[in-house]
Amino acid sequence: MKPIAEVLSLPLAILQPRATARSFELRAGEELAGTLAFRSSFGSLALARTAESAWTFKRVGSFSPRATVRNEGSERDLVVYTPRWSGQSGEIALEGGERLRFAATGFWGTRFTLSDAAGQTLATFGPEPEAHRFSDLFRAQAVVAVDSAASARPDLGLLLLFGWYLVVLHHEDATAATVAVTAAG
């Protein structure tokens, strides 16, 4: 696995190697720069790894849900994401006090942005890379664009993997809501 800082000159993408598995790879061209793997088919606990570190991501709470990031094996929250009531955006609070914004953008919500408190975009997820095979249509994928202002951040790998984790949760929640409405229909 290559450190994020060494591969930022290459195009970044998040790819799902197998459509049936809830695991993802952050790739820079052919280089692996990070991984995100959910522990089970239905839970929210996931393990993220880069060359620099490893973290656990987990959604907690029912009525006031939030997602947390911890160093692997630790009980201390490094990052906490709190969604707004609509679920389309929310705030990421970093341990040092910095606040970031994560939001779905565009009419269909197919693009997601990570911005700083001043509104400067740090990273964008989507749209999906071009499908080269029929099976690619069934995999969750995204092109990742990193703004030059964010490229020097030491927490960039963490933020990119956590951002993708939030995208996955958003899509799973939207799918569950659609199924519920259709079944009630």
User: Could you give phi then psi for residue 97, rounded to 5 degrees?
Assistant: 105, -15
User: Dihedral (C-alpha) 99, 58, 72, 17: value to the nearest 10 degrees?
Assistant: -100
**pLDDT by residue for the chain (185 residues), tens digit each?**
999 999 999 999 999 998 888 999 999 999 999 999 999 888 899 999 999 999 999 999 877 889 999 999 999 999 999 998 766 789 999 999 999 999 998 777 778 999 999 999 999 998 765 545 444 555 677 889 999 989 989 999 999 999 999 999 886 665 555 555 566 66
Domain residue limits, the chain: 4-177
Both structure tokens of 33: 């720069």
pTM of the predicted protein model: 0.86
User: Residue-wise over 87-121: b if at least 16 C-beta within 10 A, else e?
Assistant: eebbbbbeeeeeebbbbbbeeebebbbbbbeeeeb
Q: Which helix (H) or strand (E) is 48 found in, with range?
A: strand 46-50
Domain range 4-177, CATH architecture: Beta Barrel (2.40)
Peptide bond into 154 cis (omega under 30): no
Instruction: Give CA–CA dist 148/47, Å, rounded.
Output: 27
